[in-house]
Structure 1
Amino acid sequence: MSVIWGIPYLLIRVAVRDFPPDVLVFARTAPPAVLLTAYAAYRGMLRPLLPHWRMVLLYSLVELAGPWLLLSHAEVRLSSSLAALLIATTPLVAAVLARLGGSERIDSRRLLGLTVGVAGVVTLAGVDVHADDMVAVGEALLTAVGYAVGPFIVARRLAHLPSLGVISSSLAVVAVLYAPFAVWHWPSSVSGDAAVSVVVLSVVCTAVAFIVFFALIAEAGPARASVITYVNPAVAVVLGVLLLDEPFTLGIAIGFPLVLLGSVLATAKPRREPAAGATGGSEALAAAPTGRAPEPS
């Protein structure tokens, strides 16, 4: 699972050489939308969603439609390694949202984690980013925000619905939303590398990934399944350095351990468990059907 969700950054970086970001979002969502929606319909997982279509639509926009466009656009300027490390801040955002929503408290250890994680982001941006790339950095960080908000919607409004039904319908919504842009902006020529990247993004990193993730949650539980959050960025950095000749910079060497340590500390359980009911939905949050951190794109 960590490999499957660690390689999209590499694939996006290759794909955006030929595919405009909006076309790429359509190309990676349409095939899995058809496959997973057909399966979900066969299993009767779509009908229960009908009374909740507004929340499904909101989740689709916040978790997929917005973040995947922002991330694809950001990787036009940023390396796959840097993009992955910026997205690794998602657990930090999720920890803040959990505190603001009153579902979890932030003790001294979590506060230290947030501080360390922010220091890691500042290090990454300060050492590795040029001034004209700051818009792309902002897009990557907004992607992390979307990835963090999406599971809260699932945990509080959609947790009682079939997970595969939610994600398949969300993929379908995004595919339909971006279809007109795909028709208008479809590239006149596509390299073999870009085409293969889109196919792998669509089939492996989306369709297969969600099925495997649901199986992982069933086998290991939502809390242990969330460990992949901390491994994905490492996979992305290694692949970027080895396959795309991206530099292993001083910013990555210093910033990545800080972001990783900050995420671990910020998402750790409080030393004293809150009163019953104070953490409502936390397990559902960890098990939310997202494309990266079970966020925590």
Structure 2
Amino acid sequence: MQTRHFAQLIALSALWGASFPFIRIASPALGPWGVAGLRCVLAALVLSVLMRVLRNHWPARGAWPLLLMLSLLTVVAPFVLFSWAGLILPAGYSAVLNATVPLFGVLAAALAGEERLTARRLLGCLVGFAGVALLVQLGPVAVSREVLLAALACIAASACYGCGAILMKRATMAHQPLPASAAVHVAAALVLLLPAAASAPAMRPTSGALLAVATLGIVTSGFMYWISMRLMREIPASAATSSAFMIPLFGVTWGSLFLDEPVTSGMLPGCVLVLAATALVTGFNPFRSVPPEP
């Protein structure tokens, strides 16, 4: 991996890690459907404006079914699930659970026949889920039915991201990143329009919540999705999902700094196991020297 690619992965991790505190701020005021719907509408608007400014062409009509599937897996389902979990779990919890994305990515690639599921990768999956169980059990939040359901929602969202990475890689080979990103978010906005509108009467918007959802829509859902698709054109999908390794670090840090969320020693074993699992599954070695750019 070239130095510039690695730097982009770190930047993506820092910004995506910040999305969990923003979700935690916005969800109680706007509700899961409202947060997901508004951020998709904002992302679609921003990317559509960029399309016009840069004079890009929209994907052909025949490409939209695949882009709709990509939208459901990498935008609609994860946004709703993480927003619902944000009503219950601290931002740091959700960020750590998001680190299971590469586990599901490798499993999906094996099922699709694109990668082989070795004993090391299978062991990594088992270690990863053990880490998730420890995190939920030993963290600062008391275990309850709601906490378990919220943790399962985060894992389901991560599974969607992991499986969607395969479709995302294929989409980057068939389309330019900006038109594909814009189409994905337009489709997501249309899917979420009715549920978000139905939940509008229950919304209690505040200035903080609106600022949070604006940042989510414009930055982490708009620009960052486009940048991630540009990056995925140049590196393997498994390498692209490795940004999930660093998201827990940023997510826990931002949650502690800005939301005063507790960080206890009990979270450490679960975090270590999740990160070790992702390294086993993907073959990522932080001590391996990175070759210089040619």
Interval of TM-score (by shorter of Structure 1 and Structure 2): 0.7 to 0.9
Does residue 44 of structure 1 match 2:56? yes
- Take 2:110 and 2:264, find their aligned partners in 1: how far apart are those partners? 34
**Uncovered stretches (5+) of structure 2, i.e. residues with no partner:** 1-11, 285-294
- TM-fit CA distance, 1:224: 5.8
Does residue 228 of structure 1 match 2:238? no
The residue aligned with 2:256 is 241
Post-superposition Cα deviations, 1:58-77, rounded to whole Å, max 9, x if no partner, equal 11112211111011011111
The residue aligned with 1:196 is 211
Structure richer in helix, relative to its length: 2
Q: Which amino acid aligns with 1:240?
A: G
Q: TM-score, normalised by structure 1?
A: 0.82
8 A contact 1:89–1:263 mirrored in 2? yes
- Take 1:241 and 1:154, find their aligned partners in 2: how far apart are those partners? 32
Post-superposition Cα deviations, 1:173-205, rounded to whole Å, max 9, x if no partner, equal 111222233333225642222121111111221
- Take 1:146 and 1:217, find their aligned partners in 2: how far apart are those partners? 17
Does residue 130 of structure 1 match 2:143? yes
- Take 2:144 and 2:204, find their aligned partners in 1: how far apart are those partners? 32
Runs of 4+ in 1 over 6 A off after TM superposition: none
Q: TM-score, normalised by structure 2?
A: 0.82
**Uncovered stretches (5+) of structure 1, i.e. residues with no partner:** 270-297
- Take 1:103 and 1:257, find their aligned partners in 2: how far apart are those partners? 28
Q: What percent identity do the matched residue pairs reach? A: 27
Q: Aligned to 1:96, which of 87, 94, 107?
A: 107
The residue aligned with 1:163 is 177
**Number of residue equivalences:** 267
What value does the CA root-mean-square deviation take over the aligned residues? 2.3
8 A contact 2:30–2:203 mirrored in 1? no
Taking a change above 3 Å as real, the CA distance of residues 242 and 44 of structure 1, as seen in their structure-2 partners, is: closer
- TM-fit CA distance, 1:6: 0.9
Taking a change above 3 Å as real, the CA distance of residues 68 and 188 of structure 1, as seen in their structure-2 partners, is: closer
Post-superposition Cα deviations, 1:87-127, rounded to whole Å, max 9, x if no partner, equal 11111111112222221113333233223212211211222
The residue aligned with 1:149 is 163
8 A contact 1:45–1:162 mirrored in 2? no
Taking a change above 3 Å as real, the CA distance of residues 259 and 45 of structure 1, as seen in their structure-2 partners, is: farther
The residue aligned with 1:65 is 76
- Take 2:163 and 2:198, find their aligned partners in 1: how far apart are those partners? 31
8 A contact 1:55–1:158 mirrored in 2? no
